[in-house]
Amino acid sequence: MVNKKLILKRILVVGAFFFVTTGTHYAQKKAAFRKAEPVSDRKFWLMEMDKMARPVIYSLAQDSLRIVMPRVTSKRADNKEQRIQVQYLEVLGRVLSGIAPWLQGEGGTPEEVALRDQYRVWVLKGLSNALDSTKKDYMRFDLGGQQLVDASFLATAFIRAPWLWEHMNPTDQERMVAALKSTRRYKPVFSNWLLFSAMTEAFFSKYGYEWDPMRIDYALQQLEQWYVGDGMYKDGTTYAFDYYNSYVIHPYLATIVTVIGKKTNAYNGMIAKIKQRNERYAVIQERLINADGTFPATGRSIIYRGAAFHHLADMAWRKVLPDQLKPGQVRSALTAVIRKTLESPSTYEKGWLTLGLYGSQPDLADVYNNQGSPYLSTSIFLPLGLPDEDPFWAEPAMKWSAQKIWSGEDFPNDHGVDLR
């Protein structure tokens, strides 16, 4: 009976926090922004990132994620109980991989600095809770193959934000390494999943741990075989017109070869090709963004919302956009995507992202989707890792390709590129 009372008390306390956070907190922010019109794109991005990430990161820091996070799965879930079991590591890895560059950054307005400092505290405490078997939010990494996916996003976060790794205490670092190593037991699906195994090994390589070159080599060599042309790869043995080139393939390839390229010259030729393909696919991505911020709703995992442009955001953050894409142009296009994918009143339910692309659209969800899945959306916020004075933020708003073309402006022609 005592335990039940304690649990009930905790639910009430955390529930009260979310009422404030998702109601009064954001209402006050929006009111303040309205008084200070016009709102800068960066302030808007920060507000939306905070709204999306705060319930996850704050709850985990309070050891309350399992208490407050809804247990939601696709209505066509292949294994409902299993999908709920893995949703906690899933949401942690996805959120951290998206906000990692911002956590790594420094400077900004006093308000942004204070927000970043608070998140850093929450994240370090949350990671400690996730790795401590005595805590309610302890996360196991051995609950099935999906853990290989989720662990790789966590590895990506540490690669993108060395600050996080460097500020974890030694015990938590040891536990994290052991947890990531435990996912080696799982055989990746013969698809983009090969990159999940490779990313975890890239993490080990970056931070001086024993790593398996074969897992990385196999992934890189196989993806080279799956390259189909014009900047795009197959996701396995067949080609699908979806966004997995952006959700996973291009950002993962770019990150992995950046790490491994510092260890060996063996992949120099491949790295040069990957760079060219990264640039071409970024051009294609920018052209997919319609004048109103919408984009073709095609393929699986479409509930990842803004993560459809993970690659374009990653290219902007890494400052490697091709010459024909100006930073201010890409910022304006991505801002339009953020507004469009998050503007529906049913985007959030009690502070948590719903399954859908434009609000709650549960029939769009795939068999593997759970409450943690849509949080890959945070990947669109990667450019928040750039400082205020970077051209991405400092350049004035610009029309992107679709706006220019569909307003009747003359525009350079486009054509495919052979990058084999």
- Evaluate whether 261 touches 267 at the Cβ level (below 8 Å): yes
pLDDT of 37: 59
Residue 184 resides in a domain: yes
Q: Looking at the structure, tell me whether residues 14 and 158 fall in a common domain.
A: no
Q: Looking at the structure, tell me whether residues 21 and 100 fall in a common domain.
A: no
Domain residues for 26?
A: 1-38
d(CA 192, CA 238): 12
Q: Looking at the structure, tell me whether residues 6 and 140 fall in a common domain.
A: no
pLDDT of 331: 98
pLDDT of 284: 98
d(CA 338, CA 342): 6
Q: Looking at the structure, tell me whether residues 308 and 368 fall in a common domain.
A: yes
Q: Looking at the structure, tell me whether residues 309 and 264 fall in a common domain.
A: yes
Q: Looking at the structure, tell me whether residues 20 and 48 fall in a common domain.
A: no
pTM over 0.85: yes
Q: Looking at the structure, tell me whether residues 23 and 170 fall in a common domain.
A: no
pLDDT of 39: 82
The arithmetic mean of pLDDT across residues 282-291, rounded, is 98
Residue 415 resides in a domain: no
Q: Looking at the structure, tell me whether residues 16 and 76 fall in a common domain.
A: no
Q: Looking at the structure, tell me whether residues 169 and 314 fall in a common domain.
A: yes
14 pLDDT higher than 90: no
Report CA torsion sign: 214, 262, 192, 207. positive
pLDDT of 322: 98
Q: Looking at the structure, tell me whether residues 177 and 30 fall in a common domain.
A: no
Residue 16 resides in a domain: yes
d(CA 286, CA 334): 9
Residue 420 resides in a domain: no
The arithmetic mean of pLDDT across residues 312-323, rounded, is 98
d(CA 156, CA 200): 8
d(CA 382, CA 340): 18
pLDDT band at 13 (very low <50, low <70, confident <90, very high): very low
Helix (H) and strand (E) counts for the chain? 18, 4
Runs of H (alpha helix) within 289-382: 310-317, 327-342
235 pLDDT higher than 50: yes
pLDDT of 28: 54
pLDDT of 30: 52
* 138 DSSP assignment: -
pLDDT in tens, 185-223: 999 999 999 999 999 999 999 999 999 999 999 999 999
The arithmetic mean of pLDDT across residues 229-246, rounded, is 97
Residue 417 resides in a domain: no
The arithmetic mean of pLDDT across residues 276-298, rounded, is 98
Q: Looking at the structure, tell me whether residues 60 and 150 fall in a common domain.
A: yes
pLDDT of 27: 53
Contacts of 352 (CB under 8 A, 6+ apart): 55, 69, 70, 371
| Tally of domains in the chain | 2
The CATH number of residue 211's host domain is 1.50.10.10
Residue 227 resides in a domain: yes
Q: Looking at the structure, tell me whether residues 99 and 25 fall in a common domain.
A: no
